[in-house]
Structure 1
C-alpha cells in the first residue's frame, strides 16, 4: 500500500497516559507501536477484528436504522471514517465525538435498544468496549506466549 498507512486511530490515545489498552481505538500499546511495520493484510485483519468488536458491543445497545443518515452526519461533523467501516463501528465514533450535542439519535440514523440519551449510551459502550478490548489483550498475550 503506497501513501498513507490506514489505521484505526481516532486521535484519542490513552496509552500516552499509561493505559495498556487505548480507550479511543481499543488497540493494545504494543499493537499501536508496531502498527506501521505490519503488512497491509495484517493491518486489514486487525482493523476487521476491531470493527467486529465494536459491532458486537454496540449491537447490544444500538441499531443503525438509516446508514445513509449516519454517513451524512459523520460527513457534516467531519468525523473520520473508512469506506469499508461497518455502520455500528461508525456509530461508536459518532457517539464518542458528538455525545454531548446529540439530542435526537433518530436524526443520525440510530435507534437505541434501551431508553438512553447519547451520553449515557456512549458511557455504556465505552465501558463495554474497554472490557472487551482488555479481554482481547489477554487473548493476544496468551496467543503470543503459547
Structure 2
C-alpha cells in the first residue's frame, strides 16, 4: 500500500444507496461517495477536513481530550479502529460505540467528560454525537448544494416567495 494513500472515511454503513444525500455512516455527501476513487489526494483531504471540523465541533460539547497519545494507545490496546486523518476528538465516537451500555472510565482513555455526559451511557452519547454530526453535515450539504444562492437579491426573493409575499 502506498504511504501517501488517503483512506476512505467509509465505515461500511452507507445510506446513500437508499437515497440519502448525506451518508449516515461516514457523513460524506452522496456525490463524494460515488466519486471518491476518482478524487485527487487534495480533494480527499478537503473532505476529511470538513468531516473533522464538524466532528470536533460536536465532540467538544461532550468531552475534552486531555491526552491524545493515551487515547490512541488505549484504542490500539483495545484493538479499536480509528481514523488517523481525524483529530483525537474524531476517535471518541469509536470508543463510545465499542463500550455500548457498559460504563467506562473516560479518564483512563485520556478524556474528561463534560456535564451533559453525566446521565448518558456511552451508546447514548454515541447516538447523540452521530445524530448531531449528521444534522450538521446535512445542513452543510443543504447550504452548499441543495439551495445554492449566488446573490443576496436571489435569497431575498426566494424567502419572499416561500412566505407567499410575492
Same fold (TM over 0.5): yes
**Structure 1 regions of 5+ residues with no counterpart?**
none
For 2:68 and 2:81, the matched residues in 1 are separated by 15
Structure 1 residues 36-76: Cα deviation after superposition (integer angstroms, max 9, x where no partner): 11111010111011111100111111111221221122212
Aligned length: 146
Structure 1 residues 87-133: Cα deviation after superposition (integer angstroms, max 9, x where no partner): 10111232233333452222222222121331222122111111101
- 1:15 is aligned to 16
**1:90-105 → structure 2 map (5 Å cutoff):** 90-105=91-106
Question: How many angstroms does 1:34 deviate by?
Answer: 0.9
**1:39-58 → structure 2 map (5 Å cutoff):** 39-58=40-59
For 1:102 and 1:72, the matched residues in 2 are separated by 19
Length-normalised TM-score, structure 1? 0.83
- 1:134 is aligned to 138
SS of the equivalent of 1:25 reads coil
Greater relative contact order (CA < 8 Å, ≥ 6 in sequence):
1
Length-normalised TM-score, structure 2? 0.75
Relative to 1, partners in 2 of residues 1:62 and 1:36: Cα closer, same or farther, differing over 3 Å? same
Structure 1 residues 5-40: Cα deviation after superposition (integer angstroms, max 9, x where no partner): 521112222333443322221112221111111111
For 2:89 and 2:146, the matched residues in 1 are separated by 28
- 1:25 is aligned to 26
**Structure 2 regions of 5+ residues with no counterpart?**
151-166
Q: Which runs of at least 4 in structure 1 moved beyond 6 Å after TM superposition?
A: none
For 1:53 and 1:112, the matched residues in 2 are separated by 19
- 1:78 is aligned to 79
